[in-house]
Amino acid sequence: MDHPLLEEQLKQLLIRECDKEDDIDWQSISDDEPLFGGKSRIAMDSLDALQVSLALQQHYGVRIEGAKDGRRILATIASIAAYIRSGSVAGELEPGKAKAGEKAQFTGAK
């Protein structure tokens, strides 16, 4: 997928799933802007993270499990895009599960 296109689609998905369409213009979100915490304009909470995770699974076939991994993956638009492109984060996914179009799944082993 084209580099800027994925980030644009993720910003639109994020604004829609977090119900921020009236508050924030998706085009004003930078790729490295934090999505959680006091310094975040989006100010995602756990419910938002769950909704975004489900939408990512539905639209991109990637599965995020666990709060710690989810928070790291969902930290910024750039981190979400990197996760989708690679299909894995730091080798935590089962080998062979991250092929394009397939669902990536955490093994739970650390």
Q: Give the residue among 77, 68, 58 at the shortest CA–CA distance from 5.
A: 77
Cβ(98)–Cβ(60) below 8 Å: no
Q: Give the residue among 43, 84, 38, 44 at the shortest CA–CA distance from 64.
A: 84
| Domains delineated in the chain | 3-86 (1.10.1200.10)
Q: List, as one string, the DSSP characters of the chain.
A: --HHHHHHHHHHHHHHHTT-TTT--GGG--TT--SSSTT-SS---HHHHHHHHHHHHHHH-B---SHHHHHHHTSSHHHHHHHHHHS-STT-BPTT--STTSPB-B----
- For residue 2, what pLDDT band results from cuts at 50, 70 and 90? low
pLDDT digits over 32-45, tens only?
999 998 889 999 99
pLDDT digits over 44-103, tens only?
999 999 999 999 999 999 999 888 889 999 999 999 999 999 874 443 433 333 344 444
pLDDT at 67: 84
